[in-house]
Amino acid sequence: MTIRFDEKVAIVTGAGGGLGRVYAHKLAERGAKVVVNDLGGPIDKESPNALRAADAVVKEIMDMGGEAIASFDSVADAEGAAKIVDTALGTYGKLDILINNAGNLFQAPFTDMPIEQYQALINVHLFGAIYMTRAALEPMRTNGYGRVVYTSSGSGLVGFNGQAVYGATKTAMVGFQNCLLLEEANRDILFNTLVPTADSRMSAGILPEHLRGFLTPENVSPAVVWMASDACNVNGKILVAGGGFFGAVELVRSKGVLIDPTRPITVEMYDEKFAELSDMRDATPYMANMTNLENRLKERGFL
């Protein structure tokens, strides 16, 4: 099946370079009208040339016959996010796709990093996704359609030296989408999270040299384009893409143990059972705590 975006309107945040630029290109190539958002500038602060990045990407898209408009507002404040969505609505009349890709990075041992840098990371990655979603949801509801993509990172899911706060914000995307999708369950609005790896300004100096050639943004983009499309029929997934590898990540839980809850449970009993309760060999997808508990209590005759 050919995947097309004719009549679809997309916002890609942080699309002035790196991964976002390629997502914007790929969506536009397949017919989407794209708001190319980026406040521009270097990785850690605004530059005097701030407006150039998004403009350049719009020009590239127009030159190849696509439709796009630049947006220079920041995702990191509610007003900026609302303006980005207004750009889509004002120019193209609706919003179908939101790719939350904008990002900044400061890297330092946790206790060495100035507090302002914690805040800047949280503002862009966490509040950026929150504000953009807040602004985008109403038009998507009106539209009866939405595809929302968040960007997580291996930094949070497995850890990375010097990226504690960055990693925390990236893993927060998973909790955010898990709750949102319940609220939007009756609508055709789907939320999925990408875990990318690509050679970009942000990952410069971090990726192993012998793998860099494979780690192009183009080799991530099919996963994002799919998540943004009608072909996407999944909700709340965490999908990994990088260097030609594509996969999915899931939270799992050990089989665990049920200790008689009608009698006092001591820490020594917990200690004694620890090896068994944390044995992951029979792990299954993590489901709601109450469902699991109910099943286990029934199995043991407590209910």
- Quote the DSSP letter at residue 105: -
Per rule CB under 6 A, is residue 17 in the interface with ligand NAI? yes
**Among 20, 139, 146, 167, which residue sits at the site for ligand NAI (rule: CB under 6 A)?**
20
User: Please, which residue, 21 or 143, has the CB nearer to ligand NAI?
Assistant: 21
- Rounded to whole angstroms, how far apart are CA atoms 198 and 194? 12
- Rounded to whole angstroms, how far apart are CA atoms 277 and 153? 28
User: Please, which residue, 171 or 200, has the CB nearer to ligand NAI?
Assistant: 200
Per-residue string for binding with ligand NAI, 116-155, x by CB under 6 A?
--------x---x----------------------x-x--
Number of residues in contact with ligand NAI under rule CB under 6 A: 32
Q: In the numeric block, which tokens belong to residue 143? A: 């539209």
Stretch that binds ligand NAI, among 60-68, 91-99, 172-180, 190-198 (CB under 6 A): 190-198
Closest-CA residue to 75 (of 7, 118, 121): 121
Please pick, among 131, 166, 270, 286, the residue that the annotation labels catalytic: 166
Per rule CB under 6 A, is residue 38 in the interface with ligand NAI? yes
Per rule CB under 6 A, is residue 66 in the interface with ligand NAI? no
270 included as an active-site residue = no
- Rounded to whole angstroms, how far apart are CA atoms 261 and 90? 58
Q: In the numeric block, which tokens belong to residue 190? A: 């789907």
Nearest approach, Cβ of 106 to ligand NAI (angstroms)? Answer: 12
Site of tokens 């006092």 = 264
Contact 175, 156 (CB under 8 A): no
Per rule CB under 6 A, is residue 87 in the interface with ligand NAI? no
Per rule CB under 6 A, is residue 19 in the interface with ligand NAI? yes
Contact 178, 236 (CB under 8 A): yes
Contact 54, 84 (CB under 8 A): no
Residue 198, classified by CB atoms within 10 Å of its CB into exposed (0-12), middle (13-18) or buried (19+), is buried
Per rule CB under 6 A, is residue 32 in the interface with ligand NAI? no
Q: Which residues are catalytic?
A: 166
> Which residues sit at the interface with ligand NAI, rule CB under 6 A?
13-14, 16-20, 37-41, 43, 53, 74-76, 101-104, 124, 128, 151, 153, 196-198, 200-203
